[in-house]
Structure 1
Amino acid sequence: ATDVGGWFGSEQQFGLRANVAHEDLNSYVEHANGHRDFLSLAFDWNISPDAVLQLDAEYQNKQQRSVPGYQLLGGTELPHNASPRKLLGHQSGANQVGIDSLNLNGKFEYRFSDQWKGSVSAAHSKVVIDDYSSFAWGGDTAGNENYFSPEGDYGIYDFRSPDDTRRDDEIQAAMTGLFNTAGLGHELTFGTSAFRRVIDKRESINEWIGTGNINQEPENFPRYAGALNDSHRNLDSRQYGLFVTDRISFNEQWQTIVGGREVRLDEKAFDAQGNESRHTQQYVFLPQAALIYKPIENLSLYTSYSKGLSLGGQAPWFALNSDETLAPTVSRQIEAGVKYDWHRISFAAAIFQTRQAYQYAKPDDAGTFTYVQQGEQKNTGLELSANGWATERLQIATSVAAIRARVTGSGTPEYEGHQAINVPRLRASLYADYALPWVDGLALLGGVQYSASKYANRTGDVEVGDYAIVNVGSRYTTRLDGYETVFRLSVDNLFDKRYWRDTGEYLGDDYLFQGAPLTARLSATVNF
């Protein structure tokens, strides 16, 4: 990788920075190596003391095989002796997943006075995904087919979904000003924005070609030889917004933030044949508010409330409404906390609650599924953290979070009354960076990550165990030929522990992914 840049021009008013990188992706999973190419350009123009133009462009191409997750054996049991290095469903002729992404951003900012400034910005993003996979799925013919069999058998599917194209365009104009009224200080921001997201894709192909077993290397099967489906519009989502936010200072101790965004939503969704299946038109108000109290300089107490708008989920292939994108959902978050700075360490504590629509493939008595938004998932938690310098040579970062996640009102009682899938009740981490006093430039690094047990299915009757992972490393900073050079060595999962890092859901199915095994990395960075 190379990152270069500098200022030029008669008054050093132009700035240019380029970043070029190539990475060989050497995966710990067998047959899953790949590569990534990256290019970015950033241009700044100080047109005058009051006017600045910023332009950014970024392109990335990534090619790597998809790694399927495990599924429960018979729907009730965790896989035995699973290896994080095994590529389930491996077929030697399978294509890699290709991802092409392009991001363009531009912003013009003008300062009208010491108190007021305005900006206009625009952004364009395009991502094209060629999704190919020899996918391991199902195999439990005696029960639910979307689990591996009790003996570890699974089906191998030739999955193809190329030319999945996603385009985002956004433009925004905003003004920010500082002023006082009636003894109150105001930092006012207001503006307008427009956003459009378009998704074009083919109806995916998912053809069974053979069977495998989690304890054996599968044989190669003939690939699907049929034609691809035609591309069609899947989603056309437009949002037009007006927003205003005011940070009001009452005195040195009290501040409040009040504001919101009014959004006009106009969204069309289409089925697998490209026919319009939904047209949502509505106005949504997204408020935000916060109150901040600083009794002394290094202590802050706060509380906040906000709403957010997110795109709806996409129905899985086996649902009656397969490929349908549901309407956008509104999430809510409330938080209260305290922050305290002591010497060179910042301590923080917060309690929070998030509420979001529950989206899932709802079963019926006929054994079929319909992807719906019904009920909500509510996460309530407490988070504690400390970050900073414990001594002149020791830097620490630590956090612990306890979370209670519950689903209510889903219409499926088996999914309620217990911790939600893939959410541990407790997470904690501790990292330390210690500069050795007897070797200038040498530092030792170390850390521990902990996760409590969590459920591996929505009914909450299969659980993966808790785990603690130890990571160590070192960093050496020196100068070579006058250039600052940094060597880094990291060793993750020092004791090569086997654990399930993720037990989440993807497109309606439950999957289990193992954490990385013992992994060592060595790198060098030269600053010039």
Structure 2
Amino acid sequence: MVEEVYAREPVSLPAVTIDSPKRQAVRRPQPQQGTRSTRVVAPRVAAPASQREAIPYLTPSTGTIGQPPAPYAGGQVGTTTRVGMLGNRNVFDTPFNTTGYTDKLIRDQQANTITDVTDNDPSVRTNSPRFSGLDGFLIRGFPVFASDIAFDGLYGITDTRRPALEPIERVEILKGPSALLYGISPFGNIGGTINLIPKRATDDPITRLTTGFVSNGNVGTAIDFGRRFGADKAWGVRVNGAYRDGRTPIDFQTDGFGVGAVALDYRGERFRATVDFGYQQQDLNAPTRVRQVNLGFPIPVSPSLTINQQQPWEYYNSDHRYAAARAEYDLNDFWTLYGAYGRSRSKEVFFGGTLRITSALGQFTSQPALTVQDADRETGEIGLRGRFTTGPVKHSTVLATTGLWQDSGTATTNVGPPITSNLYNPVYVAPRSAAGLSHNAPLSAQRINQSVAIADTMSILDDRVLLTLGGRWQGIDVTNFNTTTGAVTSRPQNEAITPAVALVLKPISNLSLYGNYIEGLTSGGTAPATAANPLQVFPAIVTKQIEVGAKYDFGILGVTVAAFEITQPNGITDPTTNIFSVDGEQRNRGLEFNTFGEVAPGMRLLGGVAFLDGVQTKTSGGRFDGKTAVGVPDIQFNLYGEYDLPFWRTSGMATLTARVIYTSPQYYDQGNTQQIPDWVRTDIGARYVTKIDGRPLTLRAAVENVFGLDYWATTGRGFLTPGTPRTYRLSASIDF
């Protein structure tokens, strides 16, 4: 069994010297920048081997490989998150709004997808239906795609649609643009960055078996196995596997999903390395899809979320495999050289149609099609991270270069005529077949993203003032091909320098005041063929953010507040001249309040509220200037709570859980004539922890959308997304 340890007090970790007969591996503890943890004291006189206690391996502040620091009080979020090239930083010393959701929270909430995890974050909404086989997000009102999710700091590794959670230790979310920190992602997300931290073998053995049930008959089993070997437990292996299949809460829909992952690691005196292999496959029948809506009429009321408007013979299949390696070497006690490389391959087959609603009465059309997509990606980074001092100023400096090479293929073939149906009374037609159609995806695009970056965090007055300065040069080279002839149709090449500056002030020990200016970067693209300047190539689009905030650490409860403004240019066509340009602009402002931790013994809270103001500031011909941005609500509220029942503690531990999610109304169109209403989703649950024959057993039960509300969840990206139907979850987990 692995004992859960939470960081409660903000204690600084001083340098420790260990005297021993000879220099030994993993006996070089030193302070991690920004890490607040319990002080570790080592004996100064070496004792006989039989009497020496194992000293936990401490990764130096210039490294990132190793077990994440202890979670914050309550165990639901981390005290530290990865801040891109800056490395691991304590959340209270980080000049950005970041949260790292832990494996314990993932298990306790029976989360199967990243979307399930982001239900705890008021700054995040999903723009993909829950049972679609896809993950997509809106962070601070801007879209973030699943293909832009990072794996251990690297883009291009995770599944392009729905990365598996079973091999993941933490889901980290950084709100806002992050071009300096992570570089440009494959699609260039600017609302935020999601980084997945893979599981590693812990010092204590892990053998955990979990069985689960999701209504209306989706049953699965997962195994988590971890061991360390060798002198000082230098070698580690962690194996995760899961398979589930069966009916979902939606009519005649079945979801089959399997994943297997192996994580190897080595931790020596100065050298550390990891290797990750993974494979996942999904077979989803009658998948839920987003909807599009014609203009000119009110958006219909949401139908029952258990009704499936897709055809029973539609399907989505995906196949994804990846390998990634990371290594770092301590040149001395102050400088670490690091590098990483990864490769992934994905293949997807969609067979079905996307609904287009044509009337306020719920009429819609759908054009069934076979869509095949392939992606082959390579990615890597090399960097040097170090610490030094100049007079009274301490420096934490990093120099890094990254690269991403991606080949994408796609092919779409319509199958039969469009289908006319209704949201409330769907029409199901005779099955159509993709037999005889090509399932190959000819090359449609090649992308090369390259960058070089440097950043320095300077601190004075015992780390009460921290100033970060940095910049990243980025080159973007995209080649688009005609999928029939293979000829090059366009090749936009862009480059840009994206600077950043961030400041943290600590007037008292537990209070951090911060501010940042940082940019995001996306491809400029080309003008459409119908414009007066067809295929004109535009420079990379730079998104700018200004943010200020405060964070207070009560030791057992953390509270943060952040205010931000993000401006994003976008493409528009002048209605008079028909000239396309990147002169449009959307501006999102917001105020975020977050809390996490243990408000009282046995009572934990997680969540907060985000107030957003999304405005179209520059539109084509000024027609929609000043209108509310599409898919940006005024208020997003998420609050999750747990309470341990004190009268059950003699035989075990019983815990009640509840969550409330609220989203205010959202506009679907630029003219603000079509709108979806606000909605409130309520979840409840319970778990019981006990022992059987000395083995820890955890039983969990939960109901999502307990009141069975039918609602539209979001209108982000111009798509109408159905909400989450009432869903029952049960699981049992035992540790051997």
Q: Answer yes or no: is 1:348 the counterpart of 2:566.
A: no
In the other structure, the counterpart of 1:513 is: 721
Q: What's the Cα RMSD here? A: 3.1
Q: Answer yes or no: is 1:409 the counterpart of 2:629.
A: no
* Distance change >3 Å, CA 264–CA 322, structure 1 → 2: closer
- Residue 546 of structure 2 contacts residue 566 of structure 2 at CA under 8 Å; is this kept in 1? yes
Per the TM alignment, residue 336 of structure 1 is displaced from its structure 2 partner at its CA by: 0.4
CA distance in 1, matches of 2:274, 2:611: 42
CA distance in 2, matches of 1:182, 1:286: 29
Per the TM alignment, residue 201 of structure 1 is displaced from its structure 2 partner at its CA by: 1.7
In the other structure, the counterpart of 2:604 is: 395
Q: Answer yes or no: is 1:177 the counterpart of 2:386.
A: yes
Per the TM alignment, residue 56 of structure 1 is displaced from its structure 2 partner at its CA by: 0.5
In the other structure, the counterpart of 2:88 is: none
- Residue 204 of structure 1 contacts residue 229 of structure 1 at CA under 8 Å; is this kept in 2? no
Per the TM alignment, residue 206 of structure 1 is displaced from its structure 2 partner at its CA by: 6.2
In the other structure, the counterpart of 2:324 is: 105
Letter in 2 for 1:254: V
CA distance in 2, matches of 1:49, 1:526: 35
- Residue 548 of structure 2 contacts residue 564 of structure 2 at CA under 8 Å; is this kept in 1? yes
Q: Answer yes or no: is 1:488 the counterpart of 2:700.
A: yes
* Distance change >3 Å, CA 300–CA 451, structure 1 → 2: same
Q: Answer yes or no: is 1:451 the counterpart of 2:650.
A: no
Secondary structure of the structure 2 residue equivalent to 1:438: helix
- Residue 336 of structure 2 contacts residue 386 of structure 2 at CA under 8 Å; is this kept in 1? yes
More displaced stretch, 413-422 vs 297-306: 413-422
* Distance change >3 Å, CA 70–CA 62, structure 1 → 2: same
* Distance change >3 Å, CA 270–CA 315, structure 1 → 2: farther
In the other structure, the counterpart of 1:266 is: 477
CA distance in 2, matches of 1:521, 1:7: 33
Higher relative contact order (CA 8 A, sep 6+): 2
CA distance in 2, matches of 1:411, 1:382: 29
Per the TM alignment, residue 455 of structure 1 is displaced from its structure 2 partner at its CA by: 0.7
1:251-286 CA-to-partner distances (Å, cap 9, x unmatched) read 222110111111122221234544323222232111
In the other structure, the counterpart of 1:523 is: 731
Judging by fraction of residues, say which structure has more helix.
2
1:108-149 CA-to-partner distances (Å, cap 9, x unmatched) read 211111111111210112221112114433xxxxxxxxx413
* Distance change >3 Å, CA 282–CA 201, structure 1 → 2: same
* Distance change >3 Å, CA 122–CA 451, structure 1 → 2: same
Per the TM alignment, residue 371 of structure 1 is displaced from its structure 2 partner at its CA by: 9.3
Letter in 1 for 2:319: D
- Residue 68 of structure 1 contacts residue 87 of structure 1 at CA under 8 Å; is this kept in 2? no
* Distance change >3 Å, CA 265–CA 84, structure 1 → 2: same
CA distance in 2, matches of 1:312, 1:282: 7
- Residue 209 of structure 1 contacts residue 221 of structure 1 at CA under 8 Å; is this kept in 2? no
Letter in 1 for 2:709: K
* Distance change >3 Å, CA 345–CA 2, structure 1 → 2: same
In the other structure, the counterpart of 2:521 is: 309
- Residue 25 of structure 1 contacts residue 36 of structure 1 at CA under 8 Å; is this kept in 2? no
CA distance in 1, matches of 2:582, 2:412: 23
Give the 5 Å matches for 1:412-451.
413-440=622-649, 441-451=653-663
Per the TM alignment, residue 74 of structure 1 is displaced from its structure 2 partner at its CA by: 6.3
Give the 5 Å matches for 1:296-375.
296-311=508-523, 329-358=541-570, 373-375=582-584
- Residue 121 of structure 1 contacts residue 173 of structure 1 at CA under 8 Å; is this kept in 2? yes
In the other structure, the counterpart of 1:140 is: none
In the other structure, the counterpart of 1:53 is: 273
- Residue 271 of structure 1 contacts residue 324 of structure 1 at CA under 8 Å; is this kept in 2? no
In the other structure, the counterpart of 1:144 is: none
Q: Percentage identity across aligned positions?
A: 25
CA distance in 2, matches of 1:303, 1:471: 35
* Distance change >3 Å, CA 519–CA 97, structure 1 → 2: same
Q: Of residues 240, 243, 264 in structure 2, which corresponds to 1:43? A: 264
Letter in 2 for 1:256: L
Q: Answer yes or no: is 1:278 the counterpart of 2:518.
A: no
- Residue 500 of structure 1 contacts residue 514 of structure 1 at CA under 8 Å; is this kept in 2? yes
Secondary structure of the structure 1 residue equivalent to 2:382: strand
Q: Answer yes or no: is 1:248 the counterpart of 2:454.
A: no
- Residue 505 of structure 2 contacts residue 512 of structure 2 at CA under 8 Å; is this kept in 1? yes
* Distance change >3 Å, CA 70–CA 269, structure 1 → 2: closer
* Distance change >3 Å, CA 282–CA 247, structure 1 → 2: same
Aligned pair count reads: 508
More displaced stretch, 476-485 vs 370-379: 370-379
* Distance change >3 Å, CA 32–CA 278, structure 1 → 2: same
Judging by fraction of residues, say which structure has more strand.
1
Q: Of residues 470, 495, 498 in structure 1, which corresponds to 2:710? A: 498
Q: Of residues 470, 473, 482 in structure 1, which corresponds to 2:682? A: 470
- Residue 322 of structure 2 contacts residue 342 of structure 2 at CA under 8 Å; is this kept in 1? yes
- Residue 66 of structure 1 contacts residue 132 of structure 1 at CA under 8 Å; is this kept in 2? no
1:469-488 CA-to-partner distances (Å, cap 9, x unmatched) read 22111111111222212111
- Residue 272 of structure 1 contacts residue 323 of structure 1 at CA under 8 Å; is this kept in 2? no
Q: Of residues 204, 213, 217 in structure 1, which corresponds to 2:426? A: 217
* Distance change >3 Å, CA 392–CA 280, structure 1 → 2: same
Give the 5 Å matches for 1:125-274.
125-137=344-356, 147-162=357-372, 164-205=373-414, 207-221=416-430, 223=432, 227-228=437-438, 231-252=441-462, 253-273=464-484, 274=486
Secondary structure of the structure 1 residue equivalent to 2:417: strand
Secondary structure of the structure 2 residue equivalent to 1:408: strand
CA distance in 2, matches of 1:336, 1:432: 28
* Distance change >3 Å, CA 202–CA 417, structure 1 → 2: same
Per the TM alignment, residue 370 of structure 1 is displaced from its structure 2 partner at its CA by: 11
Per the TM alignment, residue 493 of structure 1 is displaced from its structure 2 partner at its CA by: 1.4
Structure 1 unmatched ranges of 5 or more: 138-146
1:270-305 CA-to-partner distances (Å, cap 9, x unmatched) read 345443232222321111210110011001101011
CA distance in 2, matches of 1:322, 1:271: 16
Normalised to the residue count of structure 1, the TM-score between the two structures is 0.88
* Distance change >3 Å, CA 278–CA 258, structure 1 → 2: same
- Residue 367 of structure 2 contacts residue 414 of structure 2 at CA under 8 Å; is this kept in 1? no
- Residue 73 of structure 1 contacts residue 151 of structure 1 at CA under 8 Å; is this kept in 2? no
Per the TM alignment, residue 382 of structure 1 is displaced from its structure 2 partner at its CA by: 0.7
- Residue 353 of structure 1 contacts residue 380 of structure 1 at CA under 8 Å; is this kept in 2? yes
CA distance in 2, matches of 1:512, 1:370: 30
In the other structure, the counterpart of 1:142 is: none
Per the TM alignment, residue 177 of structure 1 is displaced from its structure 2 partner at its CA by: 1.0
Letter in 2 for 1:210: I
CA distance in 2, matches of 1:155, 1:352: 40
More displaced stretch, 80-89 vs 178-187: 80-89
Secondary structure of the structure 1 residue equivalent to 2:709: coil
Letter in 1 for 2:339: V
Per the TM alignment, residue 344 of structure 1 is displaced from its structure 2 partner at its CA by: 1.7
CA distance in 2, matches of 1:475, 1:363: 58
